[in-house]
Structure 1
């Protein structure tokens, strides 16, 4: 059988190599060949060849029978950030937001079903979760994720709602696809998202869109605050407007058209 052009151009070995890299996480920082085979669904001999190749290239190091990623992997993410130039533009605005509000400010982009942190300006306040560049959070249960999802075309939102998994994280987590659809359309209409303790008990988060020259939502500026520190009324009246305005200024620097 003659393969279609797109199938002939598909490099399966590259797919397998990336799947091995992505198998490592904060829950699995060190893995054996057997564990990598189980997590990726690849055969042990295939995983062994991939790991040895990655080790030779400097992306993986051996620790006895375990393997772990090396800092060289960060070069892959840095290539994306450097080409986008987004974090360089956003950095001073994020610093100003944290200085004015006293709360950490984050920049994130959508990757599949997750919101991924591109940059973060910390504050002196201690939050339960350690969030750094590369941290992934479920899009459906976070303000940054909902803002990013709301920026997608309708057919992509429907695809996400049809095939996504929405487990309950806290007692407040919205898991019903129909309700999530309503929320995403509301977020799109109002131009910001707010999540009240759906991802973490005692934490409220809110986000605003960062747009490019084509008026596409390419990232989101967000903030998380302790529920006991700021009421919803204070968020709406004091901190959310600061985040929204900073996101608009970043978008303006990226060539986005003026808000309608």
Structure 2
């Protein structure tokens, strides 16, 4: 009995209550509650307003949350906390057969990526040939703003998340074709959201075109996108949608029920 009490006491000493409360604050936000006031967070979590304020201010200071003067919302950086899961073998294993099928059907390289901070991170890939001047593989990072994968994900985020992203990021010209005007970029994201796919034509690198679709999960959120990349010399821009979109959409729809 004494050993059991000592064991429980040891477990209590090892339990970090402040971490528990911080995680409760993060978990207070979801698809139905993307923006919360300080009072909302205190009520949902059951902690005091003073404590909720400290946790929210800390999250904001660390760029895991945004604050507009009244409402708090989680920022894209929060995805880093889930990256270990999203890039895990289990997820990659589930995605890989779909990417390989896409590549088999189209003869082109296909990839899956998440948004991590202001970049995309590749979590699965089926490469048929080298299409960029740099090698790409699982874990590779690229700027979200000039990639079809990044745009497909960004286009399906809440407006405040998009604005927070644009307030942080400078749209650097990677090529003369890169969109660097933020108003034009907003319009491109809206077009991508409405049509259900994003197309990038030599904005990341000369000679590279890509098209991506969002992977909409059962809760309606978009954290993953799928794409096909092709060399501009082989595939005209006018043919990207007709040749590649059916395979991408088929995979996206199938994955909707498996992830």
The alignment's TM-score, normalised by the length of structure 1, stands at: 0.66
- Assess if the C-alpha contact under 8 Å between 2:131 and 2:231 holds in 1: no
Matched, 1:5 2:51: yes
Deviation at 1:84, TM superposition (A): 9.0
Q: How does 1:211-250 map to 2 (within 5 A)?
A: 211-250=216-255
Could you say if the C-alpha distance between residues 175 and 78 of structure 1 is closer, same or farther in structure 2, counting changes exceeding 3 Å? closer
Q: Structure 1: any 5+ residue segments left out of the alignment?
A: 17-75, 255-260
2:153 maps to what in 1? 148
2:108 maps to what in 1? 103
Could you say if the C-alpha distance between residues 163 and 81 of structure 1 is closer, same or farther in structure 2, counting changes exceeding 3 Å? closer
Q: How does 1:51-200 map to 2 (within 5 A)?
A: 79-81=84-86, 85-200=90-205
Deviations 1:83-119 (A, max 9, x none): 6943232211111011111111100000111111011
Distance 2:196 2:157 in 1: 13
SS at match of 1:245: helix
Q: How many residues align?
A: 190
Deviation at 1:253, TM superposition (A): 2.1
The CA RMSD over aligned residues, in Å, is 2.7
Distance 2:220 2:157 in 1: 12
Deviations 1:191-229 (A, max 9, x none): 000000000001001101112110111200011110011
Distance 2:83 2:194 in 1: 33
Q: Structure 2: any 5+ residue segments left out of the alignment?
A: 1-49, 63-80
The alignment's TM-score, normalised by the length of structure 2, stands at: 0.66
- Assess if the C-alpha contact under 8 Å between 1:197 and 1:204 holds in 2: yes
Deviations 1:6-52 (A, max 9, x none): 68779x9xxx9xxxxxxxxxxxxxxxxxxxxxxxxxxxxxxxxxxxx
Could you say if the C-alpha distance between residues 168 and 86 of structure 1 is closer, same or farther in structure 2, counting changes exceeding 3 Å? same
